[in-house]
Amino acid sequence: MKSRNRYELNLMRKSGEIAAAALKKAMESINIGVTEVEVDRAVEKEIYRLGGDLSYKTVPGYKYATCITVNEEVVHGIPTERKFQAGDLVSVDLAVMYKGWHTDCAWSVLVKGKGESVKGKEWGEKKKFLEVGQQALWDGITQAVEGNRVGDISFAIQQKVEEEGYKVVHSLVGHGVGKSLHEDPEIPGYGKPGTGLVLKEGMTLAIEVIYAKSSSEVVLASDGWTYLSSDGSWGGLFEMSVIVGKKEAEVLTRLPKTG
C-alpha cells in the first residue's frame, strides 16, 4: 500500500465523517422492538442525506447499507425482520463511499430495557465483554504510526482480548481501505510485534477487533453470509478507519470510546 496524497486524504476524511454519522444513527436506532431492516434503512437514509454512497453495493450480491449481527453472530449478518430484545448484543458494520473513496467502521452495543438497563449477571458480563473489545480497538489504533509494523497492531489487539479470557477470531481480519473497500495489507487481530508490513505516514487502514467470548473459530450460517461463533458464544465487533500518522493515527470514523 502506498501513502495517500493530501487530496485523497481529504476525500477519505469526508467519507469517514459520513460513515461516523451513519454509525451514530445506527446506534441511536437500536431499541427494543426495532428490526434490523429498520436500522439498515435509517443508515442508508443518513448516508445519502450526507452525500455519500453505499460501499457495500460494490460487493457482488449484497444490497444493504449495513451488516448487522446479534449475540452469537460475529460478522456479515444480513439485515432481517428480526426484532431486537432487551439484553441483545448487537453489532453494526457499515462502509461509505464518497467520490470513489471508502471508509469502513463498526460498533457493538447492548439493547437496553425500557426505562433502565437490563439488570443481572449476564448484562454485566456482556458489558465487560464489549468494554474489552473497545479498548482492544484503541490499543491497536495506538500502534498505527510510521515505523511500526502491522504485527504491532495485531499484537496489541490480541493482548488485550486474550488477557481478559476472550478469543480473537483468526479467520477474519482488518484491512487496508481507500480506493477499494478491501485492500492490502491484511491486519489480523493476532500476531507478533515487529512483523509484517512497515507502516508509513499517510497509509489508510481499517483496523478491526473481531472476537468471541470463548471461541476463535467461526462457522458460516445457512444464508451464505453470516458468520457465527463455532460454540454459540457471543461475538463482538469494533472497527475504525484510520490514517497512519507520524506520532499518532488520525481516526476518520471516530465515535466516543464508550457506547
What tens digit of pLDDT does each residue of 99-113 get?
999 999 999 999 987
Tell me the fold of 6-251.
Answer: Creatine Amidinohydrolase (3.90.230)
Q: Are strands 66-70 and 89-98 parallel, antiparallel or unpaired?
A: antiparallel
**Cell numbers at residue 65, please?**
447499507
Q: pLDDT at position 177, please?
A: 98
Residue count of the chain, please give it: 259
Range of weakest confidence among 73-87, 117-131, 142-156: 117-131
pLDDT tens digits, 159-202: 999 999 999 999 999 999 999 999 999 999 999 999 999 999 99
DSSP letter assigned to residue 201: T
Q: What are the boundaries of each domain within the chain?
A: 6-251
Question: Quick one: average pLDDT of 218-240?
Answer: 97
Q: pLDDT at position 113, please?
A: 76
Question: Which CA distances in Å does 165 have to 9, 19, 33, 158?
Answer: 38, 31, 32, 11
Question: Quick one: average pLDDT of 48-69?
Answer: 96
pTM of the predicted model, to two decimals? 0.95
Whether the CB-CB separation of 173 and 188 falls below 8 Å is answered with yes
pLDDT tens digits, 75-92: 999 999 999 999 999 999
